[in-house]
Structure 1
């Protein structure tokens, strides 16, 4: 392989927390990652979807998209900043998360992640920025 050939994009691999939360990946690219997560098993003590579960889910989607982009540059991605706004709650059903690229650069990426319920109502909006770094050898 010569230096002029494009690198293959990384393929999403679920981590322990992702599997515990019941995440299922439906679509994956640097520009867009879509996945689902059940509310059941991810609720807080009042029976609502846990805000931390929403943030962990959103961080996974945005970071996966960043790593896919970074891998095509021979790099990897690490989280730099994340923020989220919770718009409404959920007690049951399936949450769909869609990470959409805002910026895909050589040193940073930014993604907006929108979590919706089965009716398509927005539950949470998350913005995540990742730093692209050369992996340690």
Structure 2
């Protein structure tokens, strides 16, 4: 995966990938610059991290069919405040089909290993569009 061409939103948030397959992906995001006014992880940033990691994994699956993956549904539950220097998102495939891919994800604190937020992401597999 080209870490230099992840798209403007992902680059703005500072997200990088340490693992990326259709079945399993791990993304890392710094807390700095992604907080709400109280200095803890912004819920929207946590959601963007999860959607990005799951969507890139789904794209790895979609490529074999000549397709791309786009987000269809994101369900996220915030459990604890994110105060770690870096947030780690791990996404694992629950369903890999010809039209959809579903991932279970956990956002965890790098410092404590505690789950900050968890949920499911569903992606549609769609025909690739020319850019």
Deviation at 1:136, TM superposition (A): 3.4
Please state whether the residue corresponding to 1:65 is helix, strand or coil: helix
Contact 2:27-2:88 within 8 A present in 1 as well: yes
- Tell whether the 8 Å contact from 1:77 to 1:131 is kept in structure 2 after alignment: yes
For the 8 Å contact 1:107–1:133, the answer to whether it is kept is: yes
Specify whether residues 136 and 22 from structure 1 end up closer, same or farther in structure 2 by C-alpha distance, changes over 3 A only.
closer
TM-score by length of 1: 0.87
2:119 paired residue among 99, 102, 126: 126
How far apart are residue 45 of structure 1 and its match? 0.9
Q: Which has the larger radius of gyration?
A: 1
Instruction: From 41, 65, 87, give the equivalent of 2:57.
Output: 65
Stretches of 4+ aligned residues off by more than 2 angstroms? none
CA RMSD of aligned residues (A): 1.2
The answer for unaligned runs of 5 or more in structure 2 is none
Shift of 1:29: 0.3
State the TM-score, normalized to the length of structure 2.
0.91
Q: For residues 50-108 of structure 1, give each alpha carbon's deviation from its aligned partner in whole angstroms, at most 9, with x where no partner exists.
A: 00000000000010011110001111111111110000002341111111000000110
In the TM superposition, 1:68-87 aligns within 5 A as 68-87=60-79
**Count of residues paired in the alignment:** 127
* Residue segments in structure 1 that go unaligned for 5+ positions in a row: 1-10
**90, 97, 121: which one pairs with 2:89?**
97
- The yes-or-no answer on 1:24 pairing with 2:16 is yes
- Find the residue that maps to 1:133 and give its secondary structure: strand
